[in-house]
Amino acid sequence: MINIVKENQATEQDDQLKITDNNVYISAAEILRDYSLAVQSRHASIVGRREVLSGKAKFGIFGDGKEIAQLAMAKAFKNGDFRAGYYRDQTFMLAIGGVTIQQLFAQLYAHADETADPHSAGRQMNAHFATRSLNPDGSWKDLTQMRNSAPDLSPTAGQMPKLVGLGYASRLYRELAGLQSFTNFSQQGNEVAFGTIGNASCAEGHFWEAINAIGVLKVPVVMSIWDDGFGISVSNEHQITKENISELLKGFQREPGMQSGYDIYTVKGWDYPALVETYLRATQIARNEHIPAIIHVVEMTQPQGHSTSGSHERYKSDQRLAWEEEYDNIRKLREWIIAQRIAKPGELDQIERNAKKQIEHIREKAWKAYTLPIYREREEVANIIQVMESQAVQPNPLAAIRRTLLQRNTPSRKEIATAIRDTLIETRNENLPDRQQLVQWKTKFEEENRVRYGRFLYSESPQSALNVKEVTAVYNNKAPQLRGFEILNRAFDAIFARYPNVVAFGEDLGRLGGVNQGMAGLQAKYGELRISDTGIREATILGQAIGLALRGIRPIAEIQYLDYLLYAIQTMSDDLATLHWRSYGGQKAPVIIRTRGHRLEGIWHAGSPMSSIINLARGMYVLVPRNMVQAAGFYNTLLQSDEPGIIVEVLNGYRLREPLPANLSEFTIPLGVPETLRSGEDVTIVTYGASVQIAAEAADLLAKVGIDVELIDVRS
């Protein structure tokens, strides 16, 4: 039950939210702060849409209609908690102090500056958030003292896989004794992972796979479903069976007194007191007991439609539009505040006027901060071109280029680059004194843009994988010849002994030790939480790893066969590979994906979709060792780095014997460095993985007929 502490009843301590066994106490002052923030967020959405339609931004998508539920969720969100959400969550981020109004506009304008947009430095569309977990040198901050948001991504339901790992990390930090010293990541596993998703995206497979995995793992997740009845123009009738997602989820509801399953709540998106109470109750249980919760927030609205791409009047009936106006969540909060005599209509009117005035001022400030550097760059280029006009035999074409550059009201760096290109082409046959100055300016401009738009695809920290020093394998005179899986088994044993924060999981990995026995016996030695079985769910195996890595754990996520990676490739490509880049170096997820393939026979369990992986996973290291000793070296390298990679073990190699290095747990293999296995003068063969053995046999045959073959293993 919600109890309002009025001003004449309050003490200094009462201006904070309180919760007892049966009651929630909230001050009138806090309620009015919530109303003010909701109005600010709404007006930011309205002004943001206007900025796009006036040509100042390319695209906009906003959180209008979702404000009150997000204010309630923010009250339950504490330091150390994590959010994995989507592009409707601006009010929540404002409420937890994770973003400012000016930063919202900076991201809308794609201001390519970390100080202006600390979430993505202009690389993501607006309302895509990522708190900065890393110090400038790439080391971790104390995440327990922060309110954290994992890096957002646009694909619908794309946030769901990593939510599994964000919640699972709390369980590991609570239950694994070896993690108790990692206090900058967790305080006894008391952190909750908050997920948000729209009703239409609940039709995606990622949603169902993640919901099932979270329930199986019994982890502290509070999952919010913002339900406004539509997915762009398509209503719930065509999205969800029974048109009601919480009806479908009833099978996940836990039985009274049981630990398995979810607590499921349904609450109206305009009912402020019910929302506050629901979020506080659900989160308290999740935090204390690690019981996940689903909160289905219904009767939400979307006053401006889906995005700036169109108007919702095209597909919503007059009756629906009238209902949305009547049940607008801010309007309902206003009515409730007046009914509870917390404030008078005139006071709320003044809050609204102040909010609108403030938003306009902030918008103008953000626009000037974004455009002034570009104006200066444009002026510098225009001045150089103007000087070149006085030197050119034909000045008119240069004057036309300069006029075109200066005519745009909203300049962009693309127009500056175009003007430079056109000027250099026009003067290619002239030896103008200032042409070289323009060339030098262009070189500097391109380097600055490389930093603005290309930096942090890979780590630049001292722990970059490319900085790991090579340690060559050392062999004793009587090195034992072991089968490949036995070498890997010893390597993994050493890894788990050395690194208490390394965990591994996958299909048949725990009790069985893997289909090829690479981890046989290790679960019995190190426990079920360090070497774990999972269900058949490749997308969330990878997502589980991403979420863990974002919280300081080093996961080895096994995808049983390379062919199965296709189930996870969207998450691998859109989330993991781009994560460091799209957060502008603000977050990292050093995941190791372990898989196997390259038998090169059959169509399902032995394939080699390497060209797809290489092109879709830019931002990750793709490592294809030719044998298991090489594989062990790559694992050692990646574990000393802070970057993600995928290691594709050769399926043919598990029973082939290899000499065991004396320094199996210490030797490393440098990334990006091919190895020449055989010198030759006539033919060079460049290959990798399973093909190395085939090429070596071919080289032996060719040598018999006098053809000298050089053999190079690319390997990474």
Q: Which residues are catalytic?
A: 605
- Dihedral sign, CA of 639, 640, 642, 648? negative
Closest CA to 645 of 576, 709, 553, 564: 576
Do β-strands 82-84 and 148-149 pair in parallel, antiparallel, or remain unpaired?
Answer: parallel
Closest CA to 546 of 46, 167, 290: 167
Q: What are phi and psi of 504, to 5 degrees?
A: -135, 145
CA pair distance 364, 387, nearest whole angstrom: 33
CA pair distance 435, 388, nearest whole angstrom: 7
* E strand spans, 481-613: 481-483, 502-506, 531-533, 554-558, 592-597
Per-residue burial over 404-439, b = 16 or more CB atoms within 10 Å of its CB, e = otherwise: ebeeeeebebebbeebbebbeebbeeeebebbeebe
Closest CA to 622 of 696, 553, 569, 684: 569
In the chain, the amino acid numbered 450 is R
Residue in this structure with the two tokens 């290095």, named with its chain if needed = 661
Instruction: Provide the 3-class DSSP secondary structure of residue 234.
Output: strand
Instruction: Provide the 3-class DSSP secondary structure of residue 177.
Output: helix
Do β-strands 148-149 and 645-650 pair in parallel, antiparallel, or remain unpaired?
Answer: unpaired
Token pair, residue 82, equals 């994590």
Which string of DSSP letters, residue by residue, matches 543-563?
A: HHHHHHHHTT-EEEEE-SSGG
For residues 67 and 40, is the Cβ–Cβ distance under 8 A?
no
CA pair distance 683, 657, nearest whole angstrom: 29
For residues 26 and 274, is the Cβ–Cβ distance under 8 A?
no
Check residue 10 and give left, alpha or beta (phi > 0: left; psi -120 to 50: alpha). beta
Token pair, residue 379, equals 């002026």
Query: What are the angstrom distances between the C-alpha of 271 and each of 37, 298, 476?
Result: 17, 10, 73
For the chain, what's the residue count? 716
Give the list of residues 6+ apart from residue 610 with CB closer than 8 angstroms, or none: 622, 624, 648
Give the list of residues 6+ apart from residue 2 with CB closer than 8 angstroms, or none: 23, 24, 26, 273, 276, 277
Instruction: Provide the 3-class DSSP secondary structure of residue 266.
Output: strand
Residue 660 DSSP label: P
